Amino acid sequence: MKTFELHESGVRSYCRSFPVVFKQARGAELITREGKHYIDFLAGAGTLNYGHNHPVLKQALLDYIEADGITHGLDMYSEAKETFLSTFDRLILKPRNMDYIMQFTGPTGTNAVEAALKLARKVTGRNNVISFTNGFHGCSIGALAATGNKHHRGAAGVPLTDVSRMPYANYFGDKVNTIAMMDKLLTDPSSGIDKPAAVIVEVVQGEGGLNAASAEWVRKLEKLCRKHEMLLIVDDIQAGCGRTGTFFSFEEMGIKPDMITLSKSLSGYGLPFAMVLLRKELDQWKPGEHNGTFRGNNHAFVTAAAAIEHFWKDNAFADSVKAKGKRIADGMNKIVRRYGPDSLFVKGRGMMIGISCPDGDTAAAICRHAFENGLVIETSGAHSEVVKCLCPLIISEEQIDKAMSILDKAFAAVMSDQAATQVS
């Protein structure tokens, strides 16, 4: 580890939980330079929905590079971009009756969020934006202002302004209607909430602890946006690209967001790539007004188009995600029943699920134990209390079962240690 400790900034984080040197990766497996195999339940924090080095995507990229295809072309027209635009329109937007313009932003999720917030403010002429408790939207200043997490916000160095935080679905439990609460605040001219340009929301909160909003809550949120003339931005950076069992996390809820942010698994291959989908009327940018050298990544255009063509031409892949999500949920529910029916519970939706533990120390100990036995898995949540499964969607049933057995042993060890401490 010496080289990393000597030369790499202290800001590095995941490597602290998984202190080995990885050399290769295939499908749902990571392999260290010593040849030890790990099942990957982190998958680049949701970036590798189609697994590591998927052969179809790899071949498309190799062919493109071999033919001296454009690697970088600013935002000039390229064949790779043309293919991506038409493939995404044909296989993702059109079949879902969605009519959006695609804006390519800088390459990471926070760039897409910045662009969406900036455009919402430009179009409406208002500063304020509503975001939610436990929401995570990125670490650049505009996106960070919309992010709840204290650890990240603490490093901003400047005031994080122009965002009003509202309680997410079920933040106060089932009985408190947070939509009615927002409606009252937005209706009252003396509530102190400036009329917002937009609401930005994750339909399942990834970093915030796998809080899944109900379809009813999301539909009511859309109505609230229409009533108060706020744009609805769905941040689908983590929950999109098939993670919840449909391409978009909100697909079966019947809403039509004004903007949608996508990144992470959009390239399909782990390449940096981010995009905002905009309702046509909102595309009020002047040429180059929101700029960036790496807007649109041609290698990512190639792998993204190949991924969409391969996985989204029919329903088979989405159906397999739903089935695997159920298999993981069944495995997790078994663990909960065995080791903590009163203190553990399963949270999330589709293949974005995890087990909520009594506290962050317990969850961290479980992840450490799992790692020692060959499973890369991380936590999320306000107190890092949720052991979070974010495995590649192409994972096999055997790998799921193996991972569940590693997790079972980890919960057995950590929960029995805790019970012993409490007795003594």
Ligand X SMILES: Cc1ncc(COP(=O)(O)O)c(C=O)c1O
- Residues engaged in binding ligand X (CB under 6 A): 45, 108-110, 113, 136-138, 202, 206-207, 235, 237-238, 263
Measured from the CB atom, is 183 or 251 closer to ligand X? Answer: 251
* Residues 308 and 88: beta-carbon distance below 8 Å: yes
3-state DSSP assignment of residue 26 = strand
Which of 317, 411, 397, 274 lies closest to 355 in space, CA to CA? 411
- Minimum distance from CB of 197 to ligand X (Å)? 18
Measured from the CB atom, is 84 or 136 closer to ligand X? Answer: 136
Measured from the CB atom, is 331 or 381 closer to ligand X? Answer: 381
Query: Which residue is nearest to ligand X, using beta carbons?
Result: 109
Measured from the CB atom, is 48 or 415 closer to ligand X? Answer: 48
User: Alpha carbon 256 to chain centroid distance?
Assistant: 19
Measured from the CB atom, is 13 or 421 closer to ligand X? Answer: 13
- Minimum distance from CB of 187 to ligand X (Å)? 29
CA distances from 25 to 31, 249, 264 (A): 6, 27, 17
What single letter denotes the amino acid at residue 146? A
- Minimum distance from CB of 136 to ligand X (Å)? 5
What's the rounded Cα separation, in Å, for the pair 246 and 259?
A: 18
* Residues 200 and 117: beta-carbon distance below 8 Å: yes
Other residues' Cβ atoms within 10 Å of the Cβ of residue 358? 15
Name the token pair of 126.
């208002």
Measured from the CB atom, is 196 or 240 closer to ligand X? Answer: 240
What's the rounded Cα separation, in Å, for the pair 320 and 95?
A: 19
β-strand 163-166 against 129-132: which pairing, if any? parallel
- Minimum distance from CB of 296 to ligand X (Å)? 16
Measured from the CB atom, is 61 or 237 closer to ligand X? Answer: 237
What's the rounded Cα separation, in Å, for the pair 146 and 165?
A: 8
Continuous segment of H or E residues that includes residue 354: strand 352-356
What single letter denotes the amino acid at residue 402? K
What's the rounded Cα separation, in Å, for the pair 20 and 2?
A: 11
Measured from the CB atom, is 263 or 384 closer to ligand X? Answer: 263
Strands of 214-351, DSSP E: 231-235, 259-262, 275-279, 345-349
